[in-house]
């Protein structure tokens, strides 16, 4: 089996277009499968005329930290967050976690085991579809506002 | 005032619009243009200017003192990125490119065998062109967390922000970490798209994101005359926003793009009117 990756630094130059054409041509004499690893904005399926993928499975590639009221003595987690995702809520006298910035690294949990929980979040999905050209497509998509795209494509690949 | 230019799909004209907007505003205002497409920056090329290096972007990495190491494996166990590999009875092996600098290993090490060093993960460049100051970030190839460079740039300008009337931020394609990092803190955003099904699909994603971040977003339709506009109109309507400006496909624009000259078009004037409101 050969794996061919289509890539480029710049956007909009025709990566998906070339991928789709190559796939259709190769499929005439070979058994092939295509994978859309542009999980930020996956749209290779659209080029095969597929609007919605049939099988879609939610996956989790990311953890997020959540604080509870026991975190009131854990002001230190604010300065120890390498991603500036934690601030101090003066009103509530509790740390506050910005869910868009949290990387789920777990440092706050290590420093404040009573006040922080780390939960898996369903942040992505992997879909599968059958093209009219006789081969299938696997496509990964990270939900908007969620990070960890690398791990999502590792899963879809 | 901070305005972020984004769009979801690649190659729709984000940088073209950001550069044209910044240049037009800089005629009578002080403008800072931040090229936050740190994986593949190119605003300097579109402006035809030469950047000078301002600073390195550094990230914390652990340094192991194997004389103190108890070979307990805790560092590897707590590393969220699996950047530390541990085999029983051996010294931990560190994979620098995987490290995101969270310090979990140093905090959990019971022997104090881990200290901190810095690795360079990117660079920040700058240039000045009259009223326009450009700040451009560049990621070291192979490093994963490009949002760290975006955040470093934003930190770098924090104190100078008040010296500018407008800050224009040009994001990468896509809708995730580095784009979110660029968007946070903006008053409004422009989503640049093209009238194709792929443009519509990715526009839907980016408008969903800016809604979640509560950033008011208007749409700029590029190459507006070659494609199917109604599919974009549908997405725009669903998100209760508007196409604020249309830029048709023209050879003149393409020529300027290739020559590194910011485009001047009535669409850019329309955007400025909206911003000034």
Q: What confidence score (pLDDT) does residue B34 get?
A: 97
Q: Taking the domains of chain A in order of start, what are their residue ranges?
A: 15-59+123-156, 63-118
Q: What confidence score (pLDDT) does residue B90 get?
A: 94
* Confidence grade of residue A157 (pLDDT, cut at 50, 70, 90): very low
* Confidence grade of residue A150 (pLDDT, cut at 50, 70, 90): low
Question: In this structure, are strands B166-170 and B2-6 parallel, antiparallel, or unpaired?
Answer: parallel
Residue A146 neighbours by CB under 8 Å, 6+ apart = A62, A121, A123, A124, B176
Task: Decide which of A62 and B268 is more confident.
Answer: B268
* pTM score: 0.90
Mean pLDDT of B99-109: 94
* Residues B195/B248, Cβ–Cβ less than 8 Å: no
Mean pLDDT of B148-167: 90
Q: What confidence score (pLDDT) does residue A54 get?
A: 84
* Confidence grade of residue B148 (pLDDT, cut at 50, 70, 90): confident
Chain B contact for A88, CB < 8 A? no
The percentage of chain B sitting over the pLDDT mark of 90, rounded to a whole number, equals 87
**CA nearest to B13, candidates B171, B234, B150, B215:** B171
Helix (H) or strand (E) holding B116: strand B114-129
d(CA A58, CA A121): 10
* Residues B107/A111, Cβ–Cβ less than 8 Å: yes
Q: What confidence score (pLDDT) does residue A48 get?
A: 96
d(CA A98, CA A79): 14
For residue A149, the chain B residue with the least C-alpha distance is B176
Mean pLDDT of B123-152: 90
Q: What confidence score (pLDDT) does residue A65 get?
A: 95
Lowest average pLDDT, out of A43-57, A100-114, A134-148, B59-73, goes to A134-148
Say whether pLDDT at B22 is over 70. yes
Say whether pLDDT at A84 is over 90. no
Do B40 and A80 lie within an 8 Å CB cutoff? no
Helix, strand, coil share (%) of chain B residues, nearest 5: 35, 25, 35
* Confidence grade of residue B120 (pLDDT, cut at 50, 70, 90): very high
* Three-state DSSP state, B60: strand
* Residues B38/B178, Cβ–Cβ less than 8 Å: yes
d(CA B194, CA B186): 23
Chain A contact for B101, CB < 8 A? yes
For residue B208, the chain A residue with the least C-alpha distance is A144
Nearest to B104 among A11, A38, A110 (CB): A110
Mean pLDDT of B45-54: 95
* Confidence grade of residue A40 (pLDDT, cut at 50, 70, 90): confident
Structural Rg of chain B based on CA atoms: 22
Nearest to A105 among B10, B102, B202 (CB): B102
3-state SS, one letter per residue, for A68-122? CHHHHHCCHHHHHCCCCCEEEECCCCEEEECCCCCCCCCHHHHHCCCCEEEEEEC
Based on DSSP, count helices (H) and strands (E) in chain A, helices before strands.
5, 8
Say whether pLDDT at B175 is over 60. yes
CATH code linked to domain A63-118: 3.30.70.20
Mean pLDDT of A35-52: 92
Q: Which two tokens stand for residue B226?
A: 């070659």
Q: Taking the domains of chain B in order of start, what are their residue ranges?
A: 2-57+124-276, 66-112
Chain B contact for A40, CB < 8 A? yes
Residue B125 neighbours by CB under 8 Å, 6+ apart = B44, B51, B52, B53, B54, B135, B136, B137, B138
Q: Which two tokens stand for residue B186?
A: 């903006």
Say whether pLDDT at A153 is over 70. no
Say whether pLDDT at B88 is over 60. yes
Say whether pLDDT at B236 is over 90. yes
How far is C-alpha B9 from the chain's CA centre? 14
CATH architecture of B66-112: 2-Layer Sandwich (3.30)
Nearest to B108 among A80, A110, A146 (CB): A110
B240: region left, alpha or beta (phi > 0 left; psi from -120 to 50 alpha): left
* Confidence grade of residue A149 (pLDDT, cut at 50, 70, 90): low
Do A111 and B107 lie within an 8 Å CB cutoff? yes
Mean pLDDT of B173-188: 91
Packed helices B266-276 and B14-25: angle between N→C axes, nearest 10 degrees: 70
* Residues B38/B139, Cβ–Cβ less than 8 Å: yes
Chain B contact for A157, CB < 8 A? no
Mean pLDDT of B223-249: 96
Domain B2-57+124-276 belongs in CATH node 2.40.50.100: no
């Amino acid at each position: 089996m050969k794996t061919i990756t289509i890539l480029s630094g710049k956007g909009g130059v025709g990566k998906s277009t070339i991928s789709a054409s190559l796939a259709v041509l190769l499929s005439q004499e070979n058994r092939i499968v295509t994978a859309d690893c542009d999980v930020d904005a996956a749209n290779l399926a659209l080029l095969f005329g597929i609007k919605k993928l049939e099988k879609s499975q939610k996956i989790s590639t990311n953890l997020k930290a959540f604080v509870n009221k026991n975190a009131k003595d854990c002001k230190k987690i604010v300065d120890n967050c390498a991603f500036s995702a934690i601030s101090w809520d003066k009103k509530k006298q509790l740390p506050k976690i910005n869910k868009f910035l949290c990387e789920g690294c777990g440092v706050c949990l290590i420093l404040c085991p009573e006040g922080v929980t780390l939960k898996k979040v369903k942040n992505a999905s992997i879909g599968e579809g059958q093209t009219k050209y006789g081969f299938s497509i696997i496509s990964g998509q990270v939900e908007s506002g969620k990070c960890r795209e690398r791990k999502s494509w590792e899963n879809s690949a | 005032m901070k305005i972020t230019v984004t769009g979801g799909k690649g190659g729709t004209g984000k940088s073209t619009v950001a550069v044209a907007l910044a240049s037009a505003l800089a005629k009578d205002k002080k403008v800072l243009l931040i090229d936050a497409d740190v994986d593949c920056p190119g605003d300097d090329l579109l402006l035809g200017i030469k950047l000078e290096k301002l600073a390195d972007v550094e990230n914390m990495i652990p340094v192991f003192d194997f004389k103190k190491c108890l070979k307990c494996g805790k560092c590897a166990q707590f590393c969220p990125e699996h950047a530390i590999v541990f085999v029983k009875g051996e010294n931990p092996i560190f994979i620098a490119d995987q490290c995101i600098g969270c310090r979990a290993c140093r905090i959990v090490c019971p022997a104090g065998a881990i200290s901190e060093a810095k690795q360079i993960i990117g660079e920040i460049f700058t240039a000045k062109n009259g009223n326009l100051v450009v700040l451009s970030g560049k990621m070291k190839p192979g490093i994963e967390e490009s949002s760290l460079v975006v955040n470093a740039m934003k930190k770098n300008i924090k104190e100078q922000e008040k010296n500018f009337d407008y800050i224009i931020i040009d994001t990468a394609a896509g809708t995730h970490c580095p784009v979110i990092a660029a968007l946070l803190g903006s008053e409004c955003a422009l989503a640049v798209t093209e009238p194709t099904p792929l443009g519509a699909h990715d526009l839907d994603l980016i408008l969903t994101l800016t809604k979640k971040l509560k950033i008011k977003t208007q749409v700029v339709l590029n190459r507006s005359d070659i494609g199917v506009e109604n599919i974009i109109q549908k997405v725009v309507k669903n998100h209760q926003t508007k196409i604020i400006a249309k830029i048709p496909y023209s050879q003149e624009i393409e020529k300027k793009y290739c020559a590194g000259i910011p485009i001047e078009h009535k669409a850019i004037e329309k955007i400025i009117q909206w911003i000034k409101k």
